[in-house]
């Protein structure tokens, strides 16, 4: 195949580079002006056009980011394996660049489907470049043109200043606005790279998936994507305006500033150091109602309405959804947290369950005892509860709401254990499949490669046609979700999600489903 190394964009011509696998990379293309100086905490602005040909063969720095409160530095000294999302060497405030990968195999005579990848990282960490986001692997496995775009992180991306005076109008959800700007760039330019601007799938994991959940309700994003893949995320991770305003005021105080104007000139390193003081790091505290964390804000402008309510009312019926979770979402955080993750006693766990809306926590805890090996291990019990509360239950609620509104949603559950049974099907395990990195953890065996092929084949089919290859989700049906597992299970096996057991029956909105003994 002849490589097309030049592409014309609305800002100028770029020259990409041929990769050894036959694909083509265009790296470091600016899709917005540098958000620095007076543009810090402001909505993204159009990039400055250039004359001649701009080299696009080097990745731009990742967004400026501090130490993650969710994955503290101490955890890096543990015995956990290195994942493809583990290393970011170069960062900068001047980060609003994107990358485009075009597959090396000939297309079938028309423009290719497009996948726009939104990375995760707790809204505090991440990069659109390898090894954090390997668009080459995703393009190779799906046959789609893949775009990865940086967005601002932490306070730089999510500090809500819009309620601090008219001069800060629009200074809210900067990261969401970055994502919209990148999607708008795709619509305007992707045809020059062999992509179909009328067949754009936005995909993301964790914070990336929660971002997509918010984008479903963002007026500025309407019409910019046609399908969505949400892995370990939903419409549930939204910060209320009052909490967001309080976080902004607390950050200004932590920096010793008299007012928000000082945020424009304070060194970025000070912002990155101070931003951790206004959020909580514990996976439960930050994801349950009332938690303080970075993320999409229900600001009344960029995000004017609650995303889940919007979906329930039919706002996304024309956007097919592919939703997935891992069976053991919180196991990784349980293992990293150690003693700090374990509840002090059963009462502490009851209190946390009440925060999630559970009215009978004693009964729920007893029901969860049937899902764990040691029914008295409070750490394991908290892990299965939070896996449901933060990820699994919100995902199936979103799938059910989309279908009930008249749209299409498909669901899958990752059961594969690439790092062994101790870690289980943990949060982020799917990245080893999507980015074809199972060999990094010694899991490139027929068992795990079968799971990889099941997952990426579904993604490829969904990106191309909007149908991953199994029936639309039915919350009342047995076998309503595809199991992503290895050779030990049927490749096409369907499972029931959420499980039809006593624990599920105690969750709000699921209490009408008849429960059965979880041990059967």
> How many other CB atoms sit within 10 Å of the CB of residue 224?
21
Among 413, 419, 409, CA closest to 388: 413
Is residue 136 a contact partner of residue 102, using CB atoms and an 8 Å limit?
Answer: no
Phi, psi (rounded to 5 degrees) for 323:
-115, 135
Indicate if 387 belongs to the active site.
no
Active-site residue, from 97, 226, 308, 427:
427
Among 60, 266, 78, CA closest to 182: 60
Indicate if 427 belongs to the active site.
yes
Active-site residue, from 23, 171, 206, 232:
206
Give CA separation, 155 vs 173, 268, 297, 373, 495, in Å. 10, 10, 12, 40, 40
Among 520, 505, 496, 499, CA closest to 366: 505
Active-site residue, from 97, 211, 308, 329:
329
**285 burial level (CB within 10 Å; 0-12, 13-18, 19+):** middle
Q: Measure the CA–CA gap between 266 and 268, rounded to whole angstroms.
A: 6
Query: Peptide bond preceding 103: is omega within 30 degrees of 0, i.e. cis?
Result: no
Q: Quick check: helix, strand or coil at residue 57?
A: strand
> How many other CB atoms sit within 10 Å of the CB of residue 361?
20
Give me 120's structure tokens: 């995760």
Q: Quick check: helix, strand or coil at residue 58?
A: coil
Q: What DSSP line would sit under 146-212, residue for residue?
A: EEEE----HHHHH---TTS-GGGTT-S-HHHHHHHHHHHHHHHHGGGGTEEEEEEEEEEETHHHHHH
Query: Which residues, including other chains, have CB under 8 Å from residue 2's CB and lie 6 or more apart?
Result: none
Indicate if 232 belongs to the active site.
no
User: What is the residue whose two structure tokens read 């075009």?
Assistant: 102
Q: Annotated catalytic sites, by residue?
A: 206, 329, 427
């Amino acid at each position: 195949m002849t490589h097309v190394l030049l592409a014309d964009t609305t800002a100028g011509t770029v020259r990409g580079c041929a990769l050894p696998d036959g694909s083509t990379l265009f790296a470091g293309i600016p899709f917005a002006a540098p958000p620095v100086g007076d543009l810090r905490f402001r909505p993204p602005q159009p990039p400055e056009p250039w004359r001649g040909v701009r080299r696009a063969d080097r990745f731009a720095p990742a967004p400026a980011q501090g130490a993650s409160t969710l994955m503290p530095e101490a955890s890096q000294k543990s015995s956990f394996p290195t994942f493809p999302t583990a290393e970011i060497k170069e960062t900068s405030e001047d980060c609003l660049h994107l990358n485009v990968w075009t597959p090396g195999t000939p297309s079938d005579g028309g423009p290719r489907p497009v996948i726009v990848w939104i990375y995760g990282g707790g809204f505090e960490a991440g990069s659109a470049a390898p090894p954090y986001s390997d668009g080459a692997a995703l393009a190779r496995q799906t046959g789609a043109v893949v775009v990865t775009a940086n967005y601002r992180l932490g306070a730089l991306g999510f500090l809500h200043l819009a309620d601090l005076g008219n001069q800060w109008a629009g200074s809210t959800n900067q990261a969401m606005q970055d994502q919209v700007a990148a999607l708008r760039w795709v619509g305007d330019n992707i045809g020059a790279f062999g992509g179909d601007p009328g067949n754009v799938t936005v995909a993301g994991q964790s914070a990336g998936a929660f971002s997509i959940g918010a984008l479903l309700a963002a007026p500025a994003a309407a019409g910019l994507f046609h399908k969505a893949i949400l892995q370990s995320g939903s419409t549930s991770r939204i910060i209320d305006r009052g909490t967001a305003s309080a976080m902004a005021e607390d950050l200004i105080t932590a920096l010793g500033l008299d007012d928000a104007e000082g945020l424009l000139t304070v060194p970025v390193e000070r912002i990155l150091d101070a931003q951790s003081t206004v959020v909580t790091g514990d996976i439960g505290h930050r994801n349950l109602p009332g938690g303080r964390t970075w993320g999409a804000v229900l600001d009344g402008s960029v995000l004017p309405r609650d995303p889940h309510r919007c979906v329930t009312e039919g706002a996304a019926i024309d956007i097919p959804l592919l939703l997935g979770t891992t069976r053991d979402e919180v196991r990784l955080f349980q293992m990293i947290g150690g003693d700090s993750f374990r509840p002090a006693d059963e009462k502490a766990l009851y209190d946390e369950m009440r925060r999630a809306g559970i009215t009978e926590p004693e009964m729920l805890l007893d029901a969860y005892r049937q899902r764990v090996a040691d029914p008295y291990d409070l750490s394991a019990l908290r892990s299965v509860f939070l896996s449901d509360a933060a990820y699994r239950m919100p995902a199936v609620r979103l799938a059910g709401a989309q279908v009930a509104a008249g749209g299409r949603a498909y669901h899958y559950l990752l059961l594969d254990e690439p790092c062994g049974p101790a870690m289980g099907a943990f949060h982020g395990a799917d990245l080893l499949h999507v980015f074809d990195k199972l060999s990094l953890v010694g899991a490139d065996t027929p068992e795990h490669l079968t799971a990889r092929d099941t997952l990426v084949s579904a993604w490829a089919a969904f990106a191309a046609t909007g149908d991953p290859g199994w029936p639309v989700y039915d919350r009342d049906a047995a076998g309503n979700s595809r199991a992503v597992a290895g050779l030990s299970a049927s490749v096409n096996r369907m499972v029931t999600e959420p499980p039809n057991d006593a624990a599920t029956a105690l969750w709000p909105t699921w209490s009408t489903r008849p429960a059965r003994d979880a041990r059967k």
